[in-house]
Structures are given as structure tokens and as C-alpha cells.
Structure 1
Amino acid sequence: MFSNVRHQAKLTNLGRAMEIHGPKLLGSLYNDPITSINLFHKFSVQHPEAYWPIVLKELSVVFHEAPKCILERNDKSKQGGTWLPGSLLNIAECCLQPMSHPRKQDDSVAIVWRDEGCDDSSVNHMTLKEFREQVMLVANALGATFSKGDAIAIDMPMTVHAVIIYLAIVLAGFVVVSIADSFAAREIATRLRVSNTKGIFTQDYIVRGGKKVPLYSKVVEASPLKAIVLPGIGNNLSIQLREQDLSWKDFLSSVDRHPRPNYYDPDYRPVDSIINILFSSGTTGDPKAIPWTQLPPIRCAAEIWAHIDLKVGDVFCWPTNLGWVMGPILMFACFLNGATLAIYHGSPLGRGFGKFVQDAGVTVLGTVPSLVKAWKSANGVDGLDWTKIRLFCSTGEASNVDDDLWLSSKSYYNPIIECCGGTELGSSYIQGSLLQPQAFGTFSGASMTTGFVILDEHGIPYPDDQPCVGEVGLFPLYLGATDRLLNADHDEVYFRGMPMYKGMQLRRHGDIIKRTVGGYYIVQGRADDTMNLGGIKTSSVEIERVCDRADESILETAAISVAPVGGGPEVLIIFVVLKKGFNIQPDKLKMKFHKAVQSNLNPLFKVSVVKIVPEFPRTASNKLLRRVLRDQVRHELSVRSRM
């Protein structure tokens, strides 16, 4: 457990705001940081009109036209009301301009980066002024190539150029379409079609683990749209382009005669204008097209400010991609808080990434648990100096306590802040905080301004102080959450069928969470990853945590349950991926799993089958697809029943 009150000075402004809402809220505000954060959270949920002006002042958010108010609660057309009505801004401009507060200047370092294979070279860097000029150059080139308002895709790794292109698209009044570079041509085509994209930025190839992986060829297969193609390495392309496509060099040359190519007047739009179209994982059918307005960037930057204390002088690194929600979150969190964005152009699995973290002086490092497991298994960061890291962040999947302890040990046992949210929220609804003790693999509470309840199987909320397990129901008053989907019924997806609570209809998110006796929270998986074993409901994540520790040969496990073809109680099946160099029989693992599950969870649970596989099916954002494993088993059982 950890406690860090280094940024408790932030409490002063919040405390002053709380004073005008009555002395009862103050309590032991200035004496007990744990009590304080609980009071502040309650204040932020109950009085968003007082909380958000304080936070907006702390961020690099400047309105071209100020909002009429913080929240218009009487807008019945939207479940969560209307935020910042009447305001005009360009959130990309906010990222690019120097500010006297919080001391973001033109000579501040905006981005640092290094290419894979150049691990012994100096870390590259770009000042805010240099970065702004590059964004404005690209914005002018966009204006010469596309029509205002067009949707323009980015199908690239998260590189310095990708970030520049993203902000240029927003600055110039276009819409970013986010596509992860790992997608196959068919998935790229689907996203281009759903978003009505008019053009796409890509690379000839990408470098991963020393190997060249083609990228442009997938785009060609996916669509006849105009592509602007960047070289994977160096300045020259390695492939021949189609007639309608442009090289990066030719694209930029469109502004050669521009009188001020490095200056661009921002396109100011209402705060609820769409700037980015992201997508859900989408394993069957079309993925949900999730529009981001200018509100989610404000929300995610505010959460990083409140929970992680990101500020000028910090260097923030998180291996991710602009095709997934963590990419835009990382980018906006850095630039709106005045921190430096650190990007490694290559695979985060190798030692080169770890050395970049060391050489770039990273102070905040984000991870996903499977990445930590890989670092630990390969001893890839041994001997490197990560002691400048003051905290770690983790998201994407449930953390392993042993892996967390190993990671924390790399930097004086500094805390790991767990984050869990969603693309449609633009943020985390549940999170750790530096103003509370942290426990590995758990969340210490809801994020600031977020309210939620835990529902029992009948949709009735448990009392707030009661240990329990159930589906989370979010309060609808949530700055940054979607109020529309481009290809699905928003109300059907997120609200219909959810219960009322204190006069408001709860918002669906789909997570099963557990509130422990100590008041911590553990995400137990998605609602469709629960299982009924012997009449007892449990989650895949809970079983996997136990099985992962059952034998040293295990890299990771996946637990599912299926009902027999002829009906009857569900049976528990464990899929296993072994560490390299290990070989063990499924029956032996079954005995160990059986003992571990009965000893640590419930003596009524029984492991029926163990299957050893080379790898698990995952989405491109690395989420485990238990549903695919479940369907495979059901198909096998169906085939056997017909033989």
C-alpha cells in the first residue's frame, strides 16, 4: 500500500470552493488527506458547477467564446445535460499555445522520441514552438488537399508525425478517424466506410522488433481513397504509390508558395462538435463508431491532473496507439497539463523501449498488465535505471499482484495507479489516487465528478458502504461521455433497461466490480464474462488470478464456462499459455488448478478441462476475447454430440 500527498496543495482551491457550499463539507479537510479526497469527490459529484471552473483554470483550456454556464441541467434531450453551452474553442490550439499558468512556454519540451534500432543515440526532442509550427504546416497542407469538415483517417503507429497530423486535423476543422495499425484490410475498410472517410494517412511499413511490417499495402487493399504515405524510416519511400496517392514530401510541398506556411488561424467550433471518431473493439458486425467532441480531451486531462498530478516538468510515456482511446487520452493529458510526451517508435516489448524510458527521464510510465508480464518474463529491463519514475499507471485488463510488485520495485516501490474506463466515456470512471493509500491490482475509488452504484442481480443498488459484487451503474451526469453514436442507437446501447436511481436513469457500462471489505474496488470482468458454477456467480478474472499462480510454467490463463450440449450445470474450462521453455501435461495442470480454485475461492468449484494453447485470441487493443474461446468449445461439443 502507498500514500503520496505530494500534490495536496491542490486541495486549497477546492477547499475554498467547498466553503461557499457549507461548512459541513469541510470536515477534517486540512488534517486527513484520505478523508479530504472523499470529501472532494463528494463535492465534485454534487457541485460540478463549482468544481469544473477550478479545474479548467488549471488546464491549458482557453475559450474563443466563453460558455454561458458550466452545465445546463434542463436540457431534456440529453441524459447528462449540456456541458459548457455556447462556448467556442479549438482544443488543438489549447494544446499548442504557451500559457503563463501552468507555466507552459515556447521553449518547453513538447515531445521526446527515439526510433527502434537507435538505442544508443541521443533522445530526439521538439520544443513547443517547433511542434506548433509543424502542426500548422500540416494544417495548411490539409486545407490545400481536402475540404473543410472532411473525415480523415490516421492508420499509423503513434509516432511524432502521427501526433502532429492528429492535432493538425483538429486545428484545421477536420475530423480524425482513428484506426489502429494492427488491423487487417477488411477491418480498415469497415471503419473507413462507417466514418465516411475522405482520405487517409499511413506509412509504407512499420518497424517492430527489428522486422518491417507492411502497412500501405493493407490500406491499398482496403480502399481506393487518397492516401498520404510517410516513410517508415528515413526520408524516402520504399514502395511505388498509386496514381491518386501522395508521398508525405509531396503533400507538404502543396504549401511551398504559402506566405506563412507555419501559421494557421484555428477553426473555432462549438464544444460539442465532433473532432475524432473512434471505434469499439467490434468482434462481430460493424464496430460502434464513437464520436469524440471537444469535451473528452478536457475530461481526460482533468482526471490526469486530479489523480496523477501530471504537470510541467513531467515526462509521460505510455505504449499505445491513436487507434485506441488511450492514444488521444495520453496526448491531450500531456499537452493540456504542460507535460512532455515521450514516444518510442518501435516495439515496447524489447530492451530498446526500456532504455528509452531511462534515457528520456520518464517520470510517469503507463502500462497494460500483459506488457508488464512480458517485461518480467524476459528480464528485459534488468540493469536499467528507472528511478526517475515517480509513479506507474495501468489499464486495459486486470492486474496481477505479483507482476505489480515486480514493476513497482523498479522505481523505489512507487505507486501504481489503476485506471478503468471506456472509449465512450473519454476517461476512467474508477481510478486510484495519490491522495489515498493504494493496493496492488485495485482501485481506491471513483474518478472525480463520477458517481456510480453497484447493482445486484435484480438491478437494485447495494448500500455505498457494503462489500459486494455486481454490475456498475454510472450516474448520467458525466462531462465527456458520449451523447450519440454514429451507427447505433445511443439510448438503446447505454440507457434502455437500466434502473432509475434517485430520480436519474443510470448509464450502462458493462463492468462487474467488487467492493472489498476495506473499501477498495476490483474489476471482475465484463458482464458477459461472469459464470455460474454450482449455483454461485463468479467472474473469469477471479478464477484466472488464482490459476495464474498455480504453477511456475504458466504465462497466463483464460477461464470460461459452458453448458453441456444436453443441458445441465456449466462446466469450468481453463485455457493456458505456457512460458517459453516449459512443458507440462494438461492433466497435471488440471489437478493444480482444481486445488488452487477450491482452496482460494470455493470448495464447490471444479475444473473440468484444461487446454494448452500457443496464444489467446485478442482484439487489436489486446483485450482477451473469452467469447471466442467459449464459442470454440461450444462448437467442439456440438460436433462430438453428432458423432
Structure 2
Amino acid sequence: MPSVRRVRDWPIFGRDGDGVAWRPDAAVAEASRLAGFLRLTGEPSLEALQAHGANDPAWFWGAAADDLGLAWARRPRSVLDVTGGPAWARWWDGGSFDWSWAAIEPRALREPDAVALTWEGEDGSVVSLTAGEIARAVRTAAARLAGFGIGPGDRVGILLPMLPETVVAVLAVSRLGAIFTPIFSGYAAPAIATRLTDCGARLLITADGFLRRGTWVDLKSVADAAVAAAPTVERVLVVRRAGNALAVPWTGGRDAWWDAGDDAVGEPSAGSNEAATAVGRDPESPYMIIHTSGTTGRPKGAVHVHGGFPVKAAQDLAHQFDLHAGDSLFWFTDLGWMMGPWAIAGALLLDARLVLYEGAPDFPGPDRLWSLVARHGVTHLGLSPTVIRSLMAHGETPVRAHDRSSLRVLGSTGEPWNPEPWWWYFREVGQGRCPVINYSGGTEVSGGIVGGNVIGPIKPASFSGPCVGTIADVVDGRGRAVRGAVGELVIRAPMPGMTRGFWNDRARYESTYWSRWPGIWAHGDWASIDADGFWFIHGRSDDTLKVAGKRVGPAEVESAAVSHPAVLEAAAIGVPHAIKGEAIVVLCVLRPDNADDPALLGSIGQRVADELGKPLKPEVVAVVRSLPKTRSGKVMRRVIRAAWLDLDPGDLSALDDPVALESIRAVSRASSR
């Protein structure tokens, strides 16, 4: 952990001399939800609002709940209780709040014909559901689940791609007071079984299959293999997606169709409709266990509650992304990653339209996402830097072929930006008029710690500051605030979105986040704040490289490497060195029409040295076909390092392309000869 390390000037420049790329006009800022929140609270500025919230989190979150218009069954007597310590804060004492009821039933009564969800399959099929249709589907599904014996506290696995039924399943399980665990639809059976077993799931909701790059994926067979290794699962409900395209394996007495067809078992019991429509719920009641992915150790099951994760999701979408009722949100993600449940909860609680897509972002062509934006009038688009880097390789023509005039806000999360893809997203996708709301936080806090907003200026690849209401800071190894230097990202006060611990592992939760400094959440990210007050994330603190006593974040090395015109993507790792202690290895994916030759590799290494200084010049620069990433697009540096050093890579359940590891091992062997 560096006590103080000066931040090098970023090689990115805005349209103005101060490095700012985007400024809101007065009308945009005044009409924003955040400006409305300032008026509601009477605070003269965002800085004043944040300062008031830091001194009185209960005041802030009470005001935020009022601003969001949360549909309480019973309003809380008090907002925040920290008698158990900040790690175990409790919210909304005396209140009653069922997020699944609040997300759809009031709107279904008020405007039943308003379209609340639009889904597009990879084959081009489209389904739109109104608020009234979703409400009825949720009641029916909840009654059916109750007929299988599912009730308060029971755990239900949801292994589904982003389908309309996925949204209904999430709402229906929650409506019963049960707890769902979302599972990435691309996981292999062992990873699925681990998550089902960890939470003790009694029932699994899955699908017969789904489309990926024009091919039907047999999801049911994978689910069957997982259930065989998960002894707590008693029933399997199957959504019809593939239809006759796949032969569906079936286990009589256990399996049933989601839509209650002729082969269904366990018909709804009498009186289950009462459970399906109940709205009284302690806001601290768990509704979701979502597992964080890691490269070592078993996954951590973060517990989230009705009055936590959904409230934070809605608040971030309102105050960071300026999502209004009637807007259309499309975030390219999966239910198994935090952004899936986040988009569902936030969009529905704010009466926005949720847009879902089933397939690959570049199938059947590289314009797929841009055409989807045009077809469905998307106002808020969320993509990761990895997706942007892959799509920008196809050039500007696919983007410019489609109308993007509906877009108002661009979102991004998942990893730090490199300058070039950030500018491409801003200029080509957003046409230089849409703010890029950079957003970073995590599964354990239900969303953002730092983020952009639409009422202030934005620098490329930066964050405007802490998310509204989040009391974040950057500290050194002693927990002291630092500015103009890289330090640890921390949160100094509890907020509703913080996990209520890891499932059946209280001690691991406390040691992971609360053990560094008393009363402070240590998130595990390197961050910095520049002289203008803009924040930057520099990657995971446990990925830091130390070369001859000099510390550098891998994101800085990677940014320098991809500034070379031949480099599309790069990953930097540290490897043992007899003299320096650690040396830098940079693995690059080249742009098309660039040959892997010593002169090119030397020039890439020199580019890094020019950007960071000669002592941080890579020991090795090598070319690989692809970089190992998680299914959500994050580069798995620890897995890369293990492959390079021929070590055990640990848990690979989140790995998207195992072949990438073999490429790294081969390059490592060749470089050592």
C-alpha cells in the first residue's frame, strides 16, 4: 500500500483546456432528477447535499426515499439503526416494504397499459409487456411457486438468460418472501452446483435453452448436471424458449414447465393467491443472495434485502443516470451479474421501460446493439469498456448506420477505461452530446460508490465523485485521506445497499470489508482524486505491481500499452524477478493487420516506458489471441498471472474463454526459451 504516490497526468484531453469533455446545458441540469432532489431538500448545491448526508445519513436516506416515491405498505418509524455497529446497520425500522409489489403493482393500477418491458431475442423476435401484464404474470407465477411449497425464507435458484420470464421469476420469488440466487446462464454445471448448494436452494428455475451466435444452447442439460450435484434442489421449473429446436431431457416428478403445460406437476394449492399478493414485508427481509466471482476460494454469497439493493439501484439510476418515468433503459448484462438484478429493480421502481436482449452484441453483425437502440428508442444505454473495445474494432460505419437520437445518457461499469475507447463511446455512440456516466462499486454495495451525474462537467474516463449519498474517500495505509495520490477507496458511513453479510459466513464478511480500519468499509480498489476534484479508479488494490520498490497499478500500464496504435487490448501482470523483486509482463491483443514481430513488441514496451518512466518498462511484451475475461468482461489478471507462471489458476467458473489460457501458457514457454 503506497502512503503517497503522485498521479501522472492522464494522456487524455477534453474539448476545453481543463480536460473536460462534456458539460450540461442549463436546461438539462435544471430538468434532471438530481436537481429536483436538491430542490426537495433545500440544499443549494450537490456539495452541500453530500456534506449534510455525511453528517446525517438517516436524514439523507429518508429524503431520498421520499424523492424516489417508494410505495411503502407502512412508512418506517426511523431510518437508520447502528446499535449493532456500522457493519450491521439496520434500515427502515417499523416500516413495511415489499420491493416486488412496489416495483409493479402501483403502476399496474395507475397505468396498466404502459409498456414496462421490451425483450428482443437474438433471432429478432420481440416481446413487449405492459405493467398490467407483468403484474398478472407475477401473481400467477408466485401462486404456482407457492404450490410447490415455496414460502418465506426458502431459496430459489434462477438460471436464465435475460428473458421476460426472468423478470417475472425475480419478482414472483420476492413476492413470496423467498430468496432468489441469480446464476449466470453461461456457467458450467459445477459452478452452478456450487451456488445452489451454498444457499441451499430448494427449487431451480431454468430454461430449455437459448440462442447464442445463432446456435441453440442446451441449458436444461447443464442444469440437470448441476442439480445432480446439488442435493437440496427438489424441483426444477423450465421456461420454454427453444421449443422444438431442442430435445429437452426430463425427470418425471421433479421437472415442470414454467407455463403449467400438460406435463406440469405440483399445481397451485388453494389459498396460495394470498401469499402471491401479500405486500407486508420487513424491509430487512432478505430477497436475494448474489455470489461474487473470484479467482481463488469459494464464491461469496452476498445477502441483500427488500429495503436495500432495490432502493440503492433506483436511487443511483435516478440521481446518477437521470432515469425518469417513461424512459427506456438497456444495460447489456446477464442476471448472474449484479447489473442484471440492478437494472430490473431500478427501472421498474422508477416506472421506466426495461429493455432486455438475449444474444451476443455483434451477432449477426457488429451493428446489432446500435440497431436495437434505434428499434426500441433506448434513452439510457449501458455497456462495459470491453464491449466498446470489441465493437470499435469494426469501425464507425456500423454505428453511424443507425439512428441514435433517442439516446440521452450513456452508462459504463465493470472496469477502468482506456482513453481511446472512452472517446469512441462518447463521440461515435453518443455523438458528443450524451454524457458518459462512469459507474463503479460492486455487488456487495448494490451499485455505485463513485459515479458521474448529469448536472456537472465530465472528464474522460473519470467519475464526478462519490455517488449521491455515498460517503466515500481515498485513504493511505493509515486510513488518512489523500488527494492527488493513489490510495484505497473506502466508505465512511453505512448505506442501505450494503450487503447484510455473506450467507452463513458472518466472520468472512467482517474480515473482508471492515477489518482494515474501525468503522470504515475498505472496498479493495485503488482510487485517486485529481486537483479538479474528479475521481479515478486504477484497478484492484490486490493487483498492484511493485517493481524495484516502485508501485504502479496495472490499469496505468495497460492504458500506456493501448495508446500504441497497434494495440487493441492489453493486460499487465507482475512476475518474480531475481533483482527487481517483480517485473512487468504485458500481454497484448493486436489490431487487425498488425504482425507480431520483435520491432513492434519493442515499440510497445518503449511506449509504456515513455508514459510511465524507464524503471517501469515491461520486462516482456507478448502477443496473445485473446485475454481471459469473466463473463461480464473483466480481465482476469490473477488467472493470467497463474497461466504465465504455470500455477494453479483457482476457480475458473467465471472464465469466458478457457482457450485463452492455453495461448498464454504457450507464449510464456516460448519467451522463457
TM-score scaled to structure 1, two decimals?
Answer: 0.89
Q: 2:589 matched to which residue of 1? A: 577
Shift of 1:348: 2.1
The one-letter code matched in structure 1 to 2:30 is: Q
Is this contact kept in 1: 2:208–2:242, CA < 8 A?
no
Cα 1:487–1:555 shift into 2, 3 Å = farther
Counterpart selection for 2:632 from 597, 616, 621: 621
3-state SS, counterpart of residue 143 of structure 2 = helix
Q: 1:182 matched to which residue of 2? A: 186
Counterpart selection for 1:421 from 423, 434, 441: 441
Q: Distance in 2 between matches of 1:353 and 1:12?
A: 31
3-state SS, counterpart of residue 128 of structure 2 = strand
Shift of 1:53: 3.0
State how 1:328-477 maps to structure 2 within 5 Å. Answer: 328-350=341-363, 351-379=367-395, 380-409=398-427, 410-413=429-432, 414-456=434-476, 458-463=477-482, 466-477=483-494
How many residues are aligned here? Answer: 612
Shift of 1:358: 0.9
Is this contact kept in 1: 2:208–2:239, CA < 8 A?
yes
Q: Distance in 2 between matches of 1:247 and 1:163?
A: 17
Cα 1:12–1:344 shift into 2, 3 Å = closer
Q: Distance in 1 between matches of 2:380 and 2:257?
A: 35
The one-letter code matched in structure 2 to 1:142 is: L
Question: Does residue 79 of the first structure (1) align with residue 87 of the second (2)?
Answer: yes
Cα 1:367–1:16 shift into 2, 3 Å = closer
Shift of 1:396: 0.2
Q: Distance in 2 between matches of 1:115 and 1:60?
A: 33
Is this contact kept in 2: 1:231–1:238, CA < 8 A?
no
Alignment root-mean-square deviation, CA = 2.7
Cα 1:138–1:589 shift into 2, 3 Å = same
3-state SS, counterpart of residue 604 of structure 1 = helix
Deviations 1:11-59 (A, max 9, x none): 676556655xxxxxx5xx3xxxxxx222222223223333323322232
Is this contact kept in 1: 2:151–2:178, CA < 8 A?
yes
Q: 1:107 matched to which residue of 2? A: 113
Shift of 1:142: 0.5
Q: Distance in 2 between matches of 1:270 and 1:261?
A: 20
State how 1:87-106 maps to structure 2 within 5 Å. Answer: 87-99=95-107, 105-106=111-112
Shift of 1:268: 2.6
Q: Distance in 2 between matches of 1:308 and 1:44?
A: 20
Q: 1:600 matched to which residue of 2? A: 611
3-state SS, counterpart of residue 572 of structure 1 = strand
State how 1:150-169 maps to structure 2 within 5 Å. Answer: 150-169=154-173
Deviations 1:260-319 (A, max 9, x none): 979932253211111011001032231001111111110111111111110112100011
Shift of 1:227: 1.5
3-state SS, counterpart of residue 402 of structure 2 = coil
Q: Distance in 2 between matches of 1:253 and 1:8?
A: 55
Q: Which deviates further from its counterpart, 377-386 or 324-333?
A: 377-386
Cα 1:487–1:580 shift into 2, 3 Å = farther
Q: Which deviates further from its counterpart, 105-114 or 589-598?
A: 589-598
3-state SS, counterpart of residue 479 of structure 1 = coil
The one-letter code matched in structure 2 to 1:194 is: D
Cα 1:13–1:316 shift into 2, 3 Å = closer
Question: Does residue 556 of the first structure (1) align with residue 579 of the second (2)?
Answer: no
3-state SS, counterpart of residue 286 of structure 2 = coil
Counterpart selection for 1:134 from 137, 156, 159: 137
The one-letter code matched in structure 2 to 1:484 is: G
Cα 1:38–1:140 shift into 2, 3 Å = same
State how 1:31-42 maps to structure 2 within 5 Å. Answer: 36-42=45-51
Q: 1:22 matched to which residue of 2? A: none
Q: Distance in 2 between matches of 1:345 and 1:366?
A: 15
Shift of 1:255: 5.5
Shift of 1:448: 1.1
Q: Distance in 1 between matches of 2:606 and 2:643?
A: 26
Is this contact kept in 2: 1:137–1:262, CA < 8 A?
no
Is this contact kept in 2: 1:442–1:521, CA < 8 A?
yes
Q: Distance in 2 between matches of 1:578 and 1:594?
A: 14
Q: Which deviates further from its counterpart, 39-48 or 136-145?
A: 39-48
What are structure 2's unaligned runs of at least 5 residues? 1-20, 648-664
Q: Distance in 2 between matches of 1:85 and 1:621?
A: 36
Q: Which deviates further from its counterpart, 530-539 or 175-184?
A: 530-539
Q: Distance in 2 between matches of 1:259 and 1:287?
A: 38
TM-score scaled to structure 2, two decimals?
Answer: 0.85
Q: 1:227 matched to which residue of 2? A: 236
Question: Does residue 241 of the first structure (1) align with residue 271 of the second (2)?
Answer: no
The one-letter code matched in structure 1 to 2:260 is: D
Is this contact kept in 2: 1:80–1:476, CA < 8 A?
no
Shift of 1:183: 0.8
3-state SS, counterpart of residue 311 of structure 2 = helix
Q: 1:506 matched to which residue of 2? A: 520
The one-letter code matched in structure 2 to 1:360 is: H
Is this contact kept in 2: 1:18–1:43, CA < 8 A?
no
Shift of 1:204: 1.7
Q: Distance in 2 between matches of 1:265 and 1:139?
A: 8
What are structure 1's unaligned runs of at least 5 residues? 20-25, 30-35
3-state SS, counterpart of residue 399 of structure 2 = coil
Cα 1:381–1:117 shift into 2, 3 Å = farther
Shift of 1:67: 1.2
Of all paired residues, the percent bearing the same amino acid is 26
The one-letter code matched in structure 2 to 1:494 is: Y
Deviations 1:591-610 (A, max 9, x none): 11222122222232221112
3-state SS, counterpart of residue 357 of structure 2 = strand
Q: Distance in 2 between matches of 1:475 and 1:17?
A: 25
Counterpart selection for 1:588 from 588, 591, 599: 599
